[in-house]
Amino acid sequence: PRLPGRIGEYLGLTGEKLRGKEVVAAGLATHFVPSQKLFQLEKRLLSIKSGDEDTVRSVINEFSTNITIDERSILNKSCII
């Protein structure tokens, strides 16, 4: 996937990084799971008996959270980049 506007170019030139929630907002990831829930998610995924895509997606959805982008996020500054 391509980043919106010139965000990719900006990141490449400046060395800035997108953080977890920003990666989801930019469309590079589908879910955001807070670090404190990762161990539980891993345990739950390992306990699944089936590799069924819908089952896996359902488990990930249980642990993922809705995101809000911080006002200082680089994604909010794309109009000036």
Tens digit of each residue's pLDDT (9 = 90 or more) over 23-67: 999 999 999 999 999 999 999 999 999 889 999 999 999 999 999
Domain assignment of residue 33, given as a range? 7-80
Q: Is 0.85 topped by the overall pTM?
A: no
In a domain, 24, yes or no: yes
Q: Which of 2, 14, 1 is nearest to 81 (CA)?
A: 14
In a domain, 57, yes or no: yes
In a domain, 2, yes or no: no
In a domain, 40, yes or no: yes
In a domain, 48, yes or no: yes
In this model, does residue 72 exceed pLDDT 80?
Answer: yes
Query: Domain tally for the chain?
Result: 1
- pLDDT score, position 79: 84
In a domain, 26, yes or no: yes
Contact 73, 3 (CB under 8 A): no
Q: Is the dihedral of CA 30, 36, 37, 41 positive or negative?
A: positive
- pLDDT score, position 5: 84
Distance CA 22, CA 73 (A): 8
- pLDDT score, position 78: 82
Residue 55: phi, psi to the nearest 5?
-65, -45
